[in-house]
Amino acid sequence: MTLSGKSAWVFSGRIHHWQKLSCVVDRLRELGCDARYYISDNVYNLDSAVEYLIPSQQPFVHALDFLDVNATQRTTEMTHGILRKIAEHNDRESDIRSFVSPYWVSYSVREACEFIVATEKALEQLNPDVVIVLHQQNFWTRSLGYFANRRGIPVVSFQEGRLRGRDQKTLNKQATAADDCRKLFCWSESARRAYIEAGILESKLAVTGIPHLEQWFGYMANQQTWEIGKKLQKESLGFDPERWLVSFCPPLLSRYDGNPKTALGALADWSANEFIQLAIRLHPFEHEENVEKLKFGLKGHPYAKVIESDTLALIACSDLVLSQHSTVAVETLALGVPLAELDLDSVGILESLAEHGIAIPIGNGELPKIKQILSGDIRVNPGDLREWLDQNIGPRDTKIVSRIIGEIESLL
């Protein structure tokens, strides 16, 4: 079935939703599908969708455009009703007011009600043929998926990042990843098995590969141009293209295993003493205050700097990436860049990749190992790495988006 003349909504709540799904959106449009981003506000005004969609000339549907007088009145009634129930709740241990301030309770409830009412009305009026979400693990995508599914509109979702056993045990994250989805696109065969073990129907799952890496896999196919491109990218970031570049890409500092200040200070000193270039890319969701403090602390450093541009481009031009349990670690290995896990406090790394033999551990007093990795004196077993990539990254080719499009076509 052709997608020409069909319509698709692609939810974009934070900028990474747009960045990771734009390759799918572009292909849908090439095939004649009217693919638009579906957006709304959020209480913190983080990554306001209009700030990146309008400059890039992306068509979108804004949920709040559907809040007419009647919808607004219904929103107010819903808000008051929910707040009344919250006020009647007397169990202090589970009372949301025990740990959330009154302002945030009322504002969040109001915002949730606005989105629910607006989305119901928008789906009724525009009735898209398919709804696409990066994942179903937040309020907006879960609500959108529920109301679309209730109207018989197929919903498809994606494996967003590395699947962690901890997330399944504590949050039931894998088990709830496809509650309102017809299809969940997995990176790899091991991810598919993990979802099945969590209770998701096998018929809902499709192994496609990692869509946002398809373009990079295409670049890697030509080794000569790949190496030239890496040097050009280094230079564009202000580094010497002929010298080694080590990139430190930690998870959110609040989730760092150990003391992140210790790691940042030690790496900055090591970089200055060894005359080796160091790029520090904090997590995209890191608090702006932490980013600015780090930039100020590195001001005047001869070799180290904070990078705030595209993480994948930084990884691709790096000679070594230092990380922990972030999805960045998986992307690093997928792009063929050596990975080292940093544990200077000797506290252990959550679900360590080094334990699988595909990353090199760097513990307390072991920073000199970095130069040995860069020179090739220390490396992982190529066979172990290749086997892990096949099982966990999935197809590494330029047909990933085509597989996704084929699955969407079959649903329609």
Domain limits of the chain?
7-210+397-411, 222-392
The per-residue b/e assignment along 328-343, b for 16 or more CB within 10 angstroms, e otherwise, is: bbbbbbbbbbbbbbbb
pLDDT bin (cut points 50, 70, 90) of residue 378 is very high
- Extract long-range pairs of 72-81: CB within 8 Å, 24+ residues apart: 74/117, 75/110, 75/113, 75/114, 75/117, 78/113, 78/116, 78/117, 79/106, 79/109, 79/110, 79/113
Mean pLDDT of 111-130: 96
Confidence of residue 111 (pLDDT cuts 50, 70, 90): very high
State what percent of residues in the chain have pLDDT above 90: 80
Same fold, 7-210+397-411 and 222-392: yes
Confidence category of residue 231, pLDDT binned at 50, 70, 90: very high
Q: Which CATH number fits domain 7-210+397-411: 3.40.50.2000, 1.10.8.350, 3.60.110.10, 3.20.20.70?
A: 3.40.50.2000
What tokens appear for 307 in the block? 């990078």
- Name the pLDDT band for 99 (thresholds 50, 70, 90): confident
Higher pLDDT among residues 85 and 97, named by residue: 85
165/75: higher pLDDT = 75
Look at residue 351 in the predicted model and tell me its pLDDT: 84
The band of 37, judged by pLDDT with boundaries at 50, 70 and 90, is very high
pLDDT over 80 (residue 90): no
Cβ atoms 411, 221 nearer than 8 A: no
- pLDDT at position 168: 66
In the CATH scheme, what architecture does the domain 222-392 have?
3-Layer(aba) Sandwich (3.40)
* pLDDT reported for residue 46: 67
**200-209 tens-digit pLDDT:** 999 999 999 9
Give 255-304 pLDDT, tens digit per residue.
Answer: 899 999 999 999 999 999 999 999 999 998 899 999 999 999 999 999 99
| Interatomic CA distance for residues 133 and 20, integer angstroms | 10
- H/E element, 383: helix 382-392
Q: How confident is the model at residue 346 (pLDDT cuts 50, 70, 90)?
A: very high
Residue 406 pLDDT more than 60?
A: yes
Nearest to 391 by CA among 207, 189, 206, 193: 189
Element (H, E) at 362: strand 360-363
